[in-house]
């Protein structure tokens, strides 16, 4: 395909990986960050695709800055952020859509550990949108022999899968940090998938989305790899490290920490049962120990296995 003008917002590991993928496909890439030399106006000028890889806490401010910088009328916005906004309890794409109602919004999410992508290892992802043409455009721009991109029409489910798995990755890190074994981690991931589906479908997502790359695929990647920042948070907590020390050592954002707090507020407001996420919340806020979190889950009332 002919070269496309792509703007990448955010120069963290994920933004850098996406910029590399686009450049490798021969596209004209401009990268912007708040501390970089390129102005936002220059990055957005004539952009056909704008990919936001900003951390969740920076999304509202970035949206306002883009609004003030004259986004090209025909640009497609791609949100690659995984998290929940504390002020609105929304994922990133509805915030972008509210600010740019006349622009197509695409969500990008999947089992995409940035370090592996930057190493050139094969990976797959999903681009989801209510605008099929926009999704297929994003698919064509990023797809390569090392990065396979699928489309779907459930952006909410795609985004919620990528967001909620970060909470569960913390729990998986705790499980491995306590050396509880493969059986325990497998049970945790399986029951966590049921929990994620419960939350997502309550909010209007399609259940089948969570069995795809942006749901189960991303859950497996982040719950089994030390490359996952959220997994490393849980592992560090299981070793007795203070949360502040762990976050300092990471030197990057672990979205699951903030997401957990917002998720519990959302679940309480909506009346959604989230037993695993609740134990992660209590652990992150210093109310229980890792061992007590495991005991609380194992001692819950006996019941039938179901995904309701």
Q: What is the dihedral of CA 271, 276, 279, 280, to 10 degrees?
A: -110
Contact criterion met (CB below 8 Å) for 49 and 5: yes
Q: Which residues contact 158 (CB under 8 A, 6 or more apart)?
A: 107, 109, 126, 128, 152, 209, 214
Give the Cα separation of 5 and 255 in Å (integer). Answer: 29
Q: Does the annotation mark 270 as catalytic?
A: no
Contact criterion met (CB below 8 Å) for 56 and 83: yes
Structure tokens at 217: 């695929």
Q: What are phi and psi of 28, to 5 degrees?
A: -90, 110
Give the active site residue among 165, 241, 270, 303.
165
Give the Cα separation of 275 and 296 in Å (integer). Answer: 9
Q: What are phi and psi of 102, to 5 degrees?
A: -100, 5
User: Mind telling me the catalytic residues?
Assistant: 165
């Amino acid at each position: 395909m002919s070269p496309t003008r792509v703007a990448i917002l955010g120069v963290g590991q994920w933004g850098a990986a996406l910029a590399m993928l686009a450049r490798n496909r021969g596209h004209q890439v401009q990268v912007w960050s708040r501390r970089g030399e390129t102005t936002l106006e220059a990055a957005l000028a004539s952009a056909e695709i704008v990919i936001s890889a900003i951390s969740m806490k920076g999304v509202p401010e970035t949206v306002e800055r883009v609004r003030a910088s004259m986004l090209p009328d025909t640009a497609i916005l791609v949100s690659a952020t995984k998290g929940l906004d504390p002020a609105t309890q929304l994922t990133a794409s509805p915030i972008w859509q509210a600010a740019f109602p006349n622009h197509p919004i695409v969500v990008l999410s999947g089992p995409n550990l940035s370090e592996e992508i930057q190493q050139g290892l094969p990976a797959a992802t999903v681009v989801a949108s209510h605008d099929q043409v926009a999704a297929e455009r994003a698919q064509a721009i990023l797809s390569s022999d090392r990065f396979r991109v699928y489309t779907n029409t459930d952006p909410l489910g795609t985004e919620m899968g990528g967001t909620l798995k970060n909470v569960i990755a913390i729990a998986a890190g705790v499980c491995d940090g306590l050396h509880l074994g493969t059986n325990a981690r497998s049970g945790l991931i399986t029951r966590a998938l049921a929990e994620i589906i419960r939350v997502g479908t309550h909010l209007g997502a399609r259940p089948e989305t969570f069995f795809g790359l942006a749901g189960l695929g991303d859950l497996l990647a982040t719950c089994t790899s030390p490359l996952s920042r959220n997994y490393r948070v849980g592992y560090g907590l299981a070793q007795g490290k203070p949360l502040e020390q762990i976050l300092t050592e990471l030197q990057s954002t672990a979205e699951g920490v903030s997401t957990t707090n917002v998720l519990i507020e959302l679940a309480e407001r909506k009346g959604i049962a989230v037993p695993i996420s609740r134990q992660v919340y209590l652990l992150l806020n210093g109310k229980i120990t890792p061992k007590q979190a495991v005991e609380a889950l194992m001692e819950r009332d006996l019941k039938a296995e179901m995904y309701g």
